[in-house]
Amino acid sequence: MGLPGTVTVHADAAEVAVAAADWILDISATAITAGGRFRVALAGGNTPRGLYQLLAASPRREATEWSGWEVFFGDERACPADDPGSNYRMAREALLDLVPIAPQRIHRIEGERPDLEAAAREYGTILSSTSGVGAPGAPPRLDCVLLGLGENGHTASLFPGDPSLEVRDRWVVRSRADYAPYDRITLTFPVLNAAAHVGFLVAGAAKGDALRGVIQGTVPAARVRPVDGDLRWFLDVAAASEAV
């Protein structure tokens, strides 16, 4: 297929969610067994909703130690937490309100703040202080980062041409989308690439061009290359068949 990492192709979006859910259960069990904690950054958008709903329902709900989970977000829109466009709201409704993760282990990006730079800076501090870190100054190491892929090849809120793509010395920054809500806060590539496991969930023929862009290295998502971690692509047939 030409994508970096490991690619699995599934019949449809529902099967993408099943494969990703079982992958997450596996890596969360390993992380919790090894260190008592599973630090995961959730993806926003629509695709992951089905995954989150599977994790929140039997039998998967009973198949992980939620007490070990620590939840972050890959990005957030500049909106209130209860806004229909909020990534936090989507994850809260599909997963976080339905499973026993302690509130202090759920780290919401405060997209409603007037000063998005300060909100981003403070989130970076939280991320660094609660995640596994390597050498001083190294980016925080999450156990898992879930990502979607926009039709223009963006991921998280790292959009084509935006200065956030070039940031190497900060872990969370303000960014600008090319569709509303325009103002965003996003993890940067150093954090995405420091993760132990990165999983893209991509479904629908409309993502074919973006996948080709990843293969050709021409879109932001092509820069997701974990330094010391594994990269997984969970695709449905519709997206994969457009990408060849």
User: Which C-beta is closer to ligand 6PG: that of 74 or that of 124?
Assistant: 74
- The helix or strand, by DSSP H or E, that contains position 233, with its residue range, turns out to be strand 230-236
Smallest distance from the beta carbon of 204 to ligand 6PG, in angstroms?
A: 7
124 binds ligand 6PG (CB under 6 A): no
Chain residue at closest Cβ approach to ligand 6PG = 148
45 binds ligand 6PG (CB under 6 A): yes
Q: Any idea which residue has 């996948």 for tokens?
A: 211
156 binds ligand 6PG (CB under 6 A): yes
For ligand 6PG, which stretch binds (CB under 6 A), given 14-22, 37-45, 131-139, 212-220?
Answer: 37-45
User: Which C-beta is closer to ligand 6PG: that of 150 or that of 213?
Assistant: 150
110 DSSP assignment? -
Alpha-carbon dihedral angle through residues 121, 173, 181, 157, given to the nearest 10 degrees: -140
47 binds ligand 6PG (CB under 6 A): yes
User: Which C-beta is closer to ligand 6PG: that of 30 or that of 152?
Assistant: 152
Q: Supply 152's token pair.
A: 């223009």
Q: Regarding beta strands 183-187 and 75-77, do their DSSP bridges make them parallel or antiparallel, or are they unpaired?
A: antiparallel
148 binds ligand 6PG (CB under 6 A): yes
How far CA 93 is from CA of 39, 61, 73, 124, 235, in Å, comes to 20, 15, 15, 25, 24
Instruction: Provide the 10 A C-beta neighbour count for residue 57.
Output: 14
- The helix or strand, by DSSP H or E, that contains position 235, with its residue range, turns out to be strand 230-236
End-to-end, the C-alpha distance of the chain in Å comes to 7
Give the C-alpha separation, 135 to 81, whole Å: 34
Count of residues interacting with ligand 6PG (CB under 6 A): 15
Q: Any idea which residue has 């209130």 for tokens?
A: 80
For ligand 6PG, which stretch binds (CB under 6 A), given 110-118, 120-128, 129-137, 152-160?
Answer: 152-160
Crossing angle (nearest 10°) for helices 48-55 and 13-35: 50
155 binds ligand 6PG (CB under 6 A): yes
How far CA 69 is from CA of 13, 27, 47, 100, 106, in Å, comes to 25, 12, 21, 9, 9
Applying CB under 6 A, among 7, 44, 54, 198 the residue interacting with ligand 6PG is 44
Smallest distance from the beta carbon of 202 to ligand 6PG, in angstroms?
A: 8
188 binds ligand 6PG (CB under 6 A): no
Smallest distance from the beta carbon of 41 to ligand 6PG, in angstroms?
A: 10
For ligand 6PG, which stretch binds (CB under 6 A), given 4-12, 41-49, 53-61, 99-107?
Answer: 41-49
Smallest distance from the beta carbon of 119 to ligand 6PG, in angstroms?
A: 15
* List of residues contacting ligand 6PG (CB under 6 A): 43-47, 74-75, 87, 148-150, 154-157
